[in-house]
């Protein structure tokens, strides 16, 4: 059996040539339905994958911060299935999808790293689905805290955590105040 050292997919992809682009908060990298031509590495800031409901509500599918691959599953799609919008000013590296596909077919280490990364993302997504299944804000917050090594979220992140666990920011603030 050959042992292949686990290297992060971000680090492997960051070795590819690509174009650096700076985006301001609220700028769009791509829209649902656009053809997939690039993979995106977030070097600085935050970019969200989102879908919008008819009433204007936003469903956040991914929050990609520094050292994250944005919409990595799009590597296996022809078109994007959501929008990518900068939540903060961001610097992003664009890598041609074709280059990654070509390299993947010839590089076992990269294929294993990508499979490992995608498996972890599936695990995290399943956990988020279980959190959203819980009925009360307290139960959802308890599950989120357990997932994050029993660390209570920092005050500056509460709004994002509310989105992640599917409650209003006000409901989360009330629950956090009750616990103090």
Tens digit of each residue's pLDDT (9 = 90 or more) over 93-147: 999 999 999 888 888 888 888 888 888 888 888 898 899 999 999 999 999 999 9
Over 80: is that where the pLDDT of 1 sits?
no
Query: Which two structure tokens, joined as six digits, stand for 166?
Result: 């599917």
Q: Mention the CATH class of domain 9-123.
A: mainly beta
Tell me if 142 sits within 8 A of 179, measured CB to CB.
Answer: no
Query: Which two structure tokens, joined as six digits, stand for 14?
Result: 């960051």
pTM of the model: 0.75
Over 70: is that where the pLDDT of 5 sits?
no
Closest by CA position to 12, among listed 100, 71, 98, 73: 100
Please state, in angstroms and as integers, the Cα–Cα distance from residue 167 to each residue in 22, 83, 161, 163, following that order: 32, 22, 9, 6
Over 70: is that where the pLDDT of 4 sits?
no
User: Residue 6: its pLDDT value, please?
Assistant: 59
Tell me if 29 sits within 8 A of 84, measured CB to CB.
Answer: yes
Angle (nearest 5°) at CA 4 between 112 and 16: 55
Give the mean pLDDT of the chain: 90
pLDDT in tens, 18-48: 999 999 999 999 999 999 999 999 999 999 9
Beta strands in the chain (DSSP E): 19-23, 28-30, 38-44, 47-52, 58-64, 68-70, 83-86, 90-96
Please state, in angstroms and as integers, the Cα–Cα distance from residue 1 to each residue in 4, 28, 66, 158, following that order: 10, 45, 35, 46
Domain extent listing, the chain: 9-123, 134-179
| Residue 151 binned pLDDT confidence (cut-offs 50, 70, 90) | confident
């Amino acid at each position: 059996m050959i042992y292949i050292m686990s290297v992060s997919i971000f680090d492997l992809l960051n070795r590819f040539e690509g174009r650096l682009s700076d985006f301001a908060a609220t700028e769009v990298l791509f829209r649902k339905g656009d053809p997939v031509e690039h993979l995106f590495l977030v070097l600085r800031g935050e970019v969200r994958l989102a879908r919008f409901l008819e009433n204007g509500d936003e469903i956040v599918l991914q929050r990609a911060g520094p050292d994250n691959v944005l919409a990595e599953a799009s590597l296996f799609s022809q078109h994007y299935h959501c929008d990518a919008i900068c939540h903060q000013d961001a610097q992003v590296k664009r890598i041609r999808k074709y280059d990654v596909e070509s390299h993947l077919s010839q590089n076992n280490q990269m294929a294993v790293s990508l499979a490992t990364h995608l498996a972890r993302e599936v695990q995290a997504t399943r956990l988020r689905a279980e959190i959203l299944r819980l009925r009360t804000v307290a139960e959802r917050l308890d599950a989120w805290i357990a997932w994050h090594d029993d660390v209570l979220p920092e005050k500056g992140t509460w709004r994002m955590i509310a989105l992640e666990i599917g409650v209003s920011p006000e409901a989360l603030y009330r629950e956090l105040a009750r616990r103090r």
